[in-house]
Amino acid sequence: MAQIDLNSDLGESFGPWQMGDDESMLAIVSSANIACGGHASDPATMYKTVQLAAENGVCIGAHPGFVDKEAFGRRLLPLSAAEVQQLIASQVGALTGIAKLAGARVQYVKAHGALANWAAATPDIAQAVVTAVKHSAPDCALLAISGTELEKAGKAYGLNTYSEIFADRAYQSNGQLVPRSIEGSVIHDAQNACDRLIRFLETGEMPTIDGGVVKLNADSICIHGDNPAAVAMAKTVRDQLQSNGFSIQTFIDN
């Protein structure tokens, strides 16, 4: 039986402000990208999310992003490559420490939002991300958007690098995600998302917003957890993947 990982961005609440339904998502996905206090989260939220992930047997990943809670890490901040390295190292270190306190461990790193998109398109920022992971979390794998500069840099630098596609985001012809400011960038219809995923997994070709296709690889499929329909979409995706012969398992080799 073929296997595929389902991941979701979780632990994105902050203080009394709640984002998403982490408890429900953690019963569906096999890997959790947990916010590290930059674009979202706080120590108590990190601890609770790590605990919930461990209780559900879900693989734990660090999800560092720009320190910009007002914009949820989705606007580009003009950092230097050195500052990107420090940002990654500090946030991954924070979640690693919280995970140890909870008796769990962080097994991979996935950049968030505008930082991930910047690294996907920009070689020196991609190199900054992989350098930070290599030195601050050498036992962690890297989860990178398929076909991007970050994926290339991770492999070239000797990190265990895995490829990710998105269930609920539209693609450009260069393999990068369509910016959220463009209509059609986010896929809200669960059946549409499932049909697209099944076709992709059969062919390796991802439909693009301009009507073409782009060749990509996938070790993991991301479903965003920050919208009201996220849980329903994740459940539909999981059910339909399983009915098409896929076993849902984390991409990490334990």
- The number of folded domains in the chain is 1
Please report whether residue 137 resides in a domain. yes
Please report whether residue 107 resides in a domain. yes
Please report whether residue 243 resides in a domain. yes
What would you report as the CA-atom Rg of the chain, rounded to the nearest whole angstrom?
17
pLDDT mean across residues, the chain: 93
Residue 139 belongs to domain with CATH number: 3.20.20.370
The pLDDT tens digits of the residues spanning 96-115 come to: 999 999 999 999 999 999 99
| pLDDT score of 85 more than 70 | yes
Percent of the chain with pLDDT over 70: 98
The pLDDT tens digits of the residues spanning 169-187 come to: 889 888 888 888 898 888 8
Contact yes or no for 85/133 (Cβ under 8 A): no
Residue 205 — pLDDT band, cuts 50, 70, 90? Answer: very high
Please report whether residue 254 resides in a domain. no
The pLDDT tens digits of the residues spanning 61-76 come to: 999 999 999 888 899 9
Residue 1 — pLDDT band, cuts 50, 70, 90? Answer: low
Please report whether residue 150 resides in a domain. yes
Global pTM reads: 0.93
Please report whether residue 253 resides in a domain. no
Q: Which residue has the tokens 């990509």?
A: 216
Q: Is 227 left (phi over 0), alpha (psi -120 to 50) or beta?
A: beta
pLDDT of residue 254: 52
Please report whether residue 228 resides in a domain. yes
The pLDDT tens digits of the residues spanning 9-52 come to: 999 988 888 888 899 999 999 999 999 999 999 999 999 999 99
- Residue 65 belongs to what domain range? 2-248
Contact yes or no for 175/230 (Cβ under 8 A): no
β-partners of residue 162 are: 143
Please report whether residue 145 resides in a domain. yes
